[in-house]
């Protein structure tokens, strides 16, 4: 059979042949360019470490997240402020996005998790769980490099970290929800608490008042005028997040420094306070705001506005240690919250290797990684204690109406 000449090809066949040649040339050209393009070679070709498993454990009111790798290097993180069974299920679901990834690509994986679902991006459940995963990845990376996590963050900005509560630093609370505007006895009860704290720490000590979003703005303005003589460091959580205009109104009416941030998440939750100049001290929580990665970014953002960081923390020793690593590498630091009396987690579950002196200063956490040992055999014992069961709070006013707190 004679060979078909080009002149006998149909127009469709000619176009198809030409397109195939062009596609082949384009593919070859892309491969050549990729070989010389650093941006196209982001994978660490010398590393074989991969995330192989993620496990979630309910441990009392907390959830502990364990990230495992094919090299048997593991990392731990803590979910706080969320029903722990829900946290564990969500963490296991997110493993779909982590399976087979290099755990040292921490920023990339944070972005991958945070932006994965457009309808729950930035939500508290998602961000709290991402916080724990982020901490676990930093733990793994520090262990791989054989250094404390804060060394990976630029190194320490201080030799020790001031903490409260201590003999010289005390924070007093509200004692429960309060009415929108108080009568003299209502104000006096709170004033007495603050006066007592000042007597405890002495004239050279530090007193803080946590309004806990439970003292509505009108009453808080009344109270602020009454407690001015006691020279408190800050009024914490002066209002419920969500309407920046309320914070601006309080800032105009109150001369005492205002602090907030534990219920705000990521840099996007913090920036309105800075832009509107209505908060004097930011209090991000490493377990709420997106982990160590976001803590460092928030501190840098605040530094540009000359606003100090006073991290909030109600994590156990696991999450608290992660927060101390971030704090060690932050220049604009004031004081750190942390509870070591066992009410958050019994001793021996998360074993820290840093200490606190009598003046309330913590040593820098030793590494590698977070430098925390986890005793998994203690989990069942903690969960068997009925006093350590998560319960949904329900704050009420005397008339039975539901209140903020």
113-141 tens-digit pLDDT: 999 999 999 999 999 999 999 999 999 99
- The residue ranges of DSSP E strands in 13-132, in sequence order, are 51-59, 62-69, 75-79
The 3-state DSSP class for residue 64 equals strand
- Specify which residues 66 forms β-bridges with: 55, 76
Q: How far apart are CA 125 and CA 81, in angstroms?
A: 9
Return d(Cα 293, Cα 323) in angstroms, integer: 10
36 — pLDDT class (breaks 50, 70, 90)? low
145-166 as b/e: b if 16+ CB within 10 A: eeebbbbbbeebbeebbbbbbb
Supply the DSSP symbol for 392: -
Q: What string of DSSP letters covers 135-180? A: HHHHHHHHHHHTSBHHHHTT--S-SEEEEESBTTEEEE--SS---S
Find out whether 314 and 339 touch, Cβ atoms under 8 Å.
yes
Handedness of CA 349, 351, 352, 358 (dihedral sign): positive
User: Helix, strand, or coil here: 52?
Assistant: strand
Q: What is the mean pLDDT of residues 262-288?
A: 97
The answer, yes or no, to whether residue 26 has pLDDT greater than 80, is: no
- Dig out the tokens for 332 from the structure: 């604009």
How large is the average pLDDT for residues 219-244? 95
- CA dist 347 and 367 (Å) reads 20
Kind of pairing between the strands at 169-172 and 206-210: parallel
Cα dihedral 105/271/312/231 (nearest 10): 150
Query: Percent of the chain having pLDDT more than 70?
Result: 89
Give 193: exposed, middle or buried? Use CB within 10 Å, 0-12, 13-18, 19+. middle
DSSP string, 327-373: HHT-SSB--EE---SSSSS-TTSEE----B-TTSEEEPPPSSBT--E
Bond before 254 cis per omega within 30 degrees: no
Tens digit of each residue's pLDDT (9 = 90 or more) over 45-79: 668 999 999 999 999 999 999 999 999 999 999 99
pLDDT at 242 > cutoff 50: yes
Residues whose CB falls within 8 Å of the CB of residue 219, separated by 6 or more in sequence, listed in order? 178, 179, 180, 181, 182, 186, 187
Question: Which domains are seen in the chain, by residue range?
Answer: 51-148 (3.30.390.10), 152-370 (3.20.20.120)
More confident: 240 or 6:
240
- Which residues does 239 contact at the CB level (< 8 Å), separation at least 6? 213, 217, 220, 246, 247, 250, 260
Contacting residues for 282 by C-beta, under 8 A, at least 6 apart: 259, 260, 261, 270, 273, 274, 298, 302, 307, 308, 309, 310
Identify the CA nearest to 286 among candidates 253, 328, 237: 328
- Residues 6 or more apart in contact with residue 402 via CB below 8 angstroms: 394, 395, 396
Closest CA to 324 of 108, 177, 153, 169: 153
| pLDDT recorded at residue 182 | 78
* Tally: H helices and E strands in the chain: 12, 13
pLDDT-derived band of residue 29, with 50, 70 and 90 as boundaries? Answer: low
């Amino acid at each position: 059979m004679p060979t078909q000449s080009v002149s006998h090809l149909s127009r469709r066949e000619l176009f198809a042949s030409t397109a195939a040649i062009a596609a082949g040339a384009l593919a070859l050209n892309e491969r050549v360019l990729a070989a010389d393009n650093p941006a196209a070679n982001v994978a660490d070709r010398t590393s074989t470490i991969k995330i192989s498993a993620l496990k979630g454990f309910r441990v009392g009111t907390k959830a502990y997240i364990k990230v495992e790798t094919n090299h048997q290097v593991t990392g731990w993180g803590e979910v706080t402020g969320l029903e722990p069974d829900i946290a564990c299920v969500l963490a296991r679901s997110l493993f779909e996005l982590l399976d087979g990834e290099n755990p040292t690509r921490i920023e990339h994986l944070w972005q991958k998790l945070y932006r994965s679902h457009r309808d729950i991006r930035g939500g508290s459940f998602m961000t709290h769980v991402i916080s724990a995963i982020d901490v676990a990845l930093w733990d793994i990376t520090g262990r791989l490099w054989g250094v404390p996590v804060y060394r990976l963050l630029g190194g320490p900005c201080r030799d020790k970290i001031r903490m409260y509560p201590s003999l010289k630093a005390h924070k007093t609370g509200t004692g429960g929800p309060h009415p929108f505007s108080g009568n003299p006895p209502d104000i006096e009860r709170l004033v007495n608490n603050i006066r007592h704290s000042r007597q405890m720490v002495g004239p050279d000590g530090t007193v803080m008042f946590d309004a806990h979003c439970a003292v509505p703005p009108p009453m808080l303005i009344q109270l602020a005028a009454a407690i001015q003589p006691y020279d408190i460091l800050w009024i914490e959580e002066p209002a419920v997040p969500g309407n920046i205009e309320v914070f601006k109104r309080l800032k105009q009416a109150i001369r005492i420094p205002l602090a907030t941030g534990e219920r705000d998440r990521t840099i996007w939750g913090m920036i309105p306070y800075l832009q509107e100049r209505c908060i004097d001290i930011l209090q991000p929580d490493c377990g709420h705001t997106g982990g160590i990665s976001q803590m460092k970014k928030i501190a840098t953002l605040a530094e540009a506005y000359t606003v100090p960081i006073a991290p909030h923390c109600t994590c156990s020793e696991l999450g608290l240690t992660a927060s101390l690593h971030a704090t060690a590498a932050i220049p604009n630091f004031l004081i750190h919250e942390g509870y070591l009396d066992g009410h958050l987690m019994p001793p021996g579950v998360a074993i820290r290797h840093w200490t606190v002196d009598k003046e309330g200063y913590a040593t820098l956490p030793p590494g590698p990684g977070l430098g925390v040992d986890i005793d998994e055999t203690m989990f069942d014992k903690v969960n068997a204690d009925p006093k350590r069961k998560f319960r949904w709070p329900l704050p009420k006013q005397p008339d039975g109406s539901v209140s903020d707190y």
